[in-house]
Amino acid sequence: MSDLGEKAAERIFMLCAAASALMTSSVLFFMIVLGRPVFREVSILAVFSTPWSPHQGGYGIGSMVSGTLWIAFSAAVIALPMSLGTAFVITSLGGPDLRRWLWALVRFMTGIPTVIYGFVGIFLLVPLVRNGLGGPGMSVAAAAFMLAVMISPTMILFFSDSLLAVDPAYCQAAKALGATRVQRLLYVMLPKALGGMTSGFILALGRALGDTLIALMLAGNAVAAPESLLDPARTLTAHIALVKAADYDSLEFRSIFACGIILYLFTAAAVACVRLLNRQGR
């Protein structure tokens, strides 16, 4: 009876895995089919090189790709040192009370809705960027700063879990040799946890690439490609949200599926990198 139950459970799990793979592939197929009219009427090169001007027959999304990369990578770079410092305090450098408080705060931040971060950014961060940096308030900088705050808990949780997963025997051996807490962290724990921490960074970057509300509310939604952190920009996700109200049969509407394909490829690349790192770690 137990063997029969195990075989049934195994088949159910395999069926669920196959259904998940089928649905994921179907999403990509769906976007390719619905976005095909754009690539048929406009060449792939033109989709990425021409400006976005649908009233003049221009359906280029290259500036949105540029805005997405500017905001996402800027947010990841800003979030990295904050997340590393917090993870170091949680895992080894802080006292028990401070560790407990920071851990609870990070977990609480993961449950805050994205729209709350957006409202805080509009009423607090945008004026600070406008008055402090001298540029337009709604810009790449404003979106990147707030997005960094939003993805930091993801990084911190991955960094902390990776550091805490290091075998305590290594740290005890280093301590017996006279290593301080900082030395044990930098020369023992950090190298052992580097693979898992890199995975956390990549997944946080993937979340930044796929965010919609922060970019929509804070980046300014300019269709021109940004050249600095103080320029307004439009991301692929914000572009999809703004254009989806267009006529279903128009090329303007169909262009959002080209954006979806690019986002899908970004996400697939991030997942592939994480899988590769985990395989090398094992």
pLDDT tens per residue, range 143-158: 999 999 999 998 999 8
User: What is the model's pLDDT at position 81?
Assistant: 92
Question: What is the token pair recorded at 21?
Answer: 């793979």
User: What is the model's pLDDT at position 221?
Assistant: 83
Task: Return all residues near 240 (Cβ < 8 A) that are at least 6 apart.
Answer: 212, 256, 259, 260
Q: pLDDT digit string (tens) for 184-238?
A: 888 888 888 888 888 888 888 888 888 888 888 888 888 888 888 888 888 888 8
- CA dist., res. 100 & res. 114, Å (int): 25
Answer yes or no: are the C-beta atoms of 244 and 216 closer than 8 Å.
Answer: no
Q: Which fold has domain 52-281?
A: MetI-like fold (1.10.3720)
Amino acid at 246: A
* Three-state helix/strand/coil letters over the chain: CHHHHHHHHHHHHHHHHHHHHHHHHHHHHHHHHHHHHHHHHCCHHHHHHCCEEHHHCEECCHHHHHHHHHHHHHHHHHHHHHHHHHHHHHHHHCCHHHHHHHHHHHHHHHCCCHHHHHHHHHHHHHHHHHHHHCCCCCCHHHHHHHHHHHHHHHHHHHHHHHHHCCCHHHHHHHHHCCCCHHHHHHHHHHHHHHHHHHHHHHHHHHHHHHCCHHHHHHCECCCCCCCCCCCCECCHHHHHHHHCCCCCCCHHHHHHHHHHHHHHHHHHHHHHHHHHHHHHHC
**Which region, left, alpha or beta, applies to residue 55 given φ > 0 means left and ψ of -120 to 50 means alpha?**
alpha
> Residue 282, Cβ neighbours under 10 Å: how many?
6
Average pLDDT, the chain: 83
Q: pLDDT digit string (tens) for 63-116?
A: 888 888 999 999 999 999 999 999 988 888 877 888 888 888 888 888 888 888
247 — pLDDT class (breaks 50, 70, 90): low
User: What is the model's pLDDT at position 246?
Assistant: 59
Q: pLDDT digit string (tens) for 265-275?
A: 888 887 787 77
User: What is the model's pLDDT at position 95?
Assistant: 79
- Give the count of alpha carbons within 13 A of 106, CB side only: 25
User: What is the model's pLDDT at position 282?
Assistant: 56
Phi, psi of 166 (to 5 degrees): -65, 135
Question: What are the extents of the domains in the chain?
Answer: 52-281
What's the rounded mean pLDDT across residues 129-155?
A: 85
What's the rounded mean pLDDT across residues 275-280?
A: 71
Phi, psi of 210 (to 5 degrees): -95, 5
- Reply yes or no on whether the pLDDT at 170 is more than 60: yes
Share of the chain above pLDDT 90, in %: 7
Answer yes or no: are the C-beta atoms of 273 and 195 closer than 8 Å.
Answer: no
User: What is the model's pLDDT at position 281?
Assistant: 58
User: What is the model's pLDDT at position 2?
Assistant: 60
Q: pLDDT digit string (tens) for 1-52?
A: 466 777 778 888 888 888 888 888 888 888 888 777 777 777 777 777 777 7
Amino acid at 197: M
